[in-house]
Amino acid sequence: MNLNIAVLPGDGIGPEIIEQALEVTKAVCKKFDHTMSFATGLVGACAIDATGNPYPDDTHALCMQSDAVLFGAVGDLRYDNNPSAKVRPEQGLLAMRKKLGLYANIRPVTTFAPLLHKSPLRSDIVQGTDFMCIRELTGGLYFGRPQGRSEDGNTAYDTCVYTRAEVERIVKLAYEYAMKRRKKVTVVDKANVLATSRLWREVAKEIAAQYPEVETEYMFVDNAAMRLIQWPSSFDVMVTENMFGDILTDEGSVITGSLGLLPSASVGVHTSLFEPIHGSWPQAAGQNLANPLATILSAAMMFEYAFGLMEEGALIREAVDASLQANIRTADIQTAGLPPYGTKEVGAWIVNYINNK
């Protein structure tokens, strides 16, 4: 098979972690006799610097003509510290999601046995956690209009909007995944307060009726945030709106050991996109400190979700597990007393493992 990939490193640590994920992807292609062609594009602060646009038309054209997009991270301190900046790197990511129609963001939260002790939670609570958060990605507060400030600057507003069709397609997807898993869906909303959440719940009830084998649980988001740290292994597939999913998956990632571990796949109408859920950590850029595993695991999801190449994805997971077992780990997850490895060294170890398989 030929894998035609758009590579968007983005900002901060993006280029370093993407480099490692690319090396791993190449090694897997070599092992399984696939060819791979890729082209790089700009998104985020680097795209603003070069073109004034955080998601330039060239980048969009590249994504549209590729079979998958491998993406690093966007964000830059120059913008984080300047709330009045009109053009922001994050707008590039949001525009990319919207224009590619990537309405579903799949974030699998699983534990890694060698890292159980790294969780801020007790091992007996975290053990066995294995759920998938399906986050709606192109609606809700992040896209609703109007958004802005009053003329005197003293009032600000965002608008949360969802249509029935938007809710239907994502909730359906959640049930489809649940059918392939442990057949349980948790619908997370705030239906006791928000009108959009009441629409979610109404639609979810209709779809639940079409999947009688699946157990459905409805949970308010505040309760879900609590349950996630109290009993994370009780979740199988969680489906929720954009902002709730953004927040709950950061929480989910850290209970398994580190934010640097959680990959994601964004799927929808056009080319699927694969990205770590963490940000661009500008303070660490270029220092060989960042954990490349979330991006490497995103490449595993790319093999599986974009190309249906399951064995290839499995080999990457196996190599990642082996690197953890061998304590070849970046500082965020290294065992106390052992030397931390750099981004490049972890990547090279995984590539070497794959080459020698």
Return the HEC string of 285-309.
Answer: CCCCCCCCHHHHHHHHHHHHHHHCC
Query: Where does this chain touch Mg ion (CB under 5 A) — which range of 62-70, 100-108, 238-246, 265-273?
Result: 238-246
Distance of CA 75 to the CA centre of its chain: 15
How far, in Å, CA of 132 to CA of 67, rounded?
A: 24
Q: Please identify, using beta-carbon distances, which residue of 63 and 214 lies nearer to ligand IPM.
A: 63
Q: Please identify, using beta-carbon distances, which residue of 159 and 325 lies nearer to ligand IPM.
A: 159
Residues between 72 and 91 that touch ligand IPM (CB under 6 A)? 75, 90
Contact 267/216 with Cβ under 8 angstroms? no
Contact 231/196 with Cβ under 8 angstroms? no
**Using CB under 6 A, which of 136, 246, 304, 312 touches ligand IPM?**
246
Residue 109's nearest CA partner among 302, 248, 280 is: 248
Q: Does 241 interact with Mg ion (rule: CB under 5 A)?
A: no
Minimum distance from CB of 275 to Mg ion (Å)? 10
Q: Positive or negative CA dihedral for 173, 176, 181, 182?
A: positive
Partner that binds at residue 188, options Mg ion, ligand IPM, none, CB closer than 5 to 8 Å by kind: none
- Which DSSP letter does residue 8 get? E
Minimum distance from CB of 274 to ligand IPM (Å)? 12
Partner that binds at residue 90, options ligand IPM, Mg ion, none, CB closer than 5 to 8 Å by kind: ligand IPM
- Element (DSSP H or E) covering residue 73: strand 68-73
Minimum distance from CB of 277 to ligand IPM (Å)? 5
Minimum distance from CB of 90 to ligand IPM (Å)? 4
Greatest alpha-carbon pair distance for the chain in Å reads 64
Residues between 253 and 312 that touch ligand IPM (CB under 6 A)? 277, 279
Q: Does 166 interact with Mg ion (rule: CB under 5 A)?
A: no
Contacts of 339 (CB under 8 A, 6+ apart): none
Partner that binds at residue 93, options ligand IPM, Mg ion, none, CB closer than 5 to 8 Å by kind: ligand IPM
Task: Return the structure tokens found at 41.
Answer: 């594009």
Catalytic residues: 142, 190, 222, 246, 250
Contact 110/317 with Cβ under 8 angstroms? no
Query: Where does this chain touch Mg ion (CB under 5 A) — which range of 43-51, 54-62, 242-250, 284-292?
Result: 242-250
Minimum distance from CB of 328 to Mg ion (Å)? 27
Minimum distance from CB of 75 to ligand IPM (Å)? 6
Q: Does 246 interact with Mg ion (rule: CB under 5 A)?
A: yes
Total residues binding Mg ion (CB under 5 A):
1
Residue 214's nearest CA partner among 171, 184, 194 is: 184
Residues between 33 and 62 that touch Mg ion (CB under 5 A)? none
Residues between 93 and 152 that touch ligand IPM (CB under 6 A)? 93
Q: Does 275 interact with Mg ion (rule: CB under 5 A)?
A: no
Query: Where does this chain touch Mg ion (CB under 5 A) — which range of 95-103, 192-200, 243-251, 259-267?
Result: 243-251
Return the HEC string of 220-238.
Answer: EHHHHHHHHHHCHHHCCEE
Q: What is the DSSP annotation of 24-57?
A: HHHHHHHHTT-EEEEEE---SHHHHHHHS-SS-H
Q: Positive or negative CA dihedral for 238, 240, 246, 248?
A: negative
Minimum distance from CB of 155 to ligand IPM (Å)? 23
- Residues in a beta bridge with 239: 134, 187
Binding site for Mg ion (CB under 5 A): 246
Site residues, ligand IPM (CB under 6 A): 75, 90, 93, 246, 277, 279
